[in-house]
Structure 1
């Protein structure tokens, strides 16, 4: 059942995590160089893992519980990534020269929103199936 709304949300979350990291930089250093997600290995791996979890969750449509769990794990991963960015931005703001924070730091927030919407739709489907099973 790939035509459900949570599939759209998961595709958007995968596109945000896997695609927007090449469009927006994370932050700029004092010498004018910009830091992208691919420049920091563990950040790049976290973004790609998030995109991978979203794609795997799309194809787990027959098992809604595992799809829901993958969504939750993905949300936790994005919160960890967001926490790292908040920590990094607080360290950057303490510099003597002014450095620039990029819009790429907000990518996990966008991903979290779409993952939460997908999990809400998955939960709604699961509740619907449970209610139909009770009637049988």
Structure 2
């Protein structure tokens, strides 16, 4: 049923992945300029003039991957009638989020001067949080299966 606990966990995983659009994965201060890596590109901000963000490079494949993984989490909410299929999709989503996190780290190395002296932003931790929510969703799906098995035994 759609009001089950796995719906909440999958929705929270979706929100964590959507927040990655708006929060930096890594930042680095270089000679009066702050450079930040987001999932949609590499941005540079002048420290003296915080109002101007200049997009240096676009990361379209990373952006598309972020959108696809977030949509997979959200669409899987409506797959509640087929719990085994829902569980398989969640496992595939966990693997995809792991690959996405690895890919984010590769794109973070595109900071000028490499990763030395760079600070990881809060966006770097959201894939791990989304994986945690997906694991909690699998636990909720398993509890639903056990509940239905016990209800069928009573009949």
TM-score category of the 2 structures, normalised to the smaller one: 0.7 to 0.9
Q: Aligned to 2:141, which of 95, 99, 122?
A: 122
Bigger Rg, structure 1 or 2: 2
Distance 1:58 1:110 in 2: 18
Distance 2:7 2:82 in 1: 13
Distance 2:115 2:101 in 1: 24
SS at match of 1:33: strand
Stretches of structure 1 lacking an aligned partner (at least 5 in a row): none
Count of matched residue positions in the alignment of Structure 1 and Structure 2: 134
CA shift, 1:62, in A, is: 0.8
- RMSD of aligned C-alpha atoms? 2.4
- Counterpart of 2:74 in structure 1 is 55
The structure whose residues are more often strand, as a share, is: 2
The structure whose residues are more often helix, as a share, is: 1
Distance 1:8 1:73 in 2: 18
Under a length normalisation based on structure 2, what TM-score does the superposition of the two structures give? 0.74
Stretches of structure 2 lacking an aligned partner (at least 5 in a row): 42-58
CA shift, 1:97, in A, is: 6.0
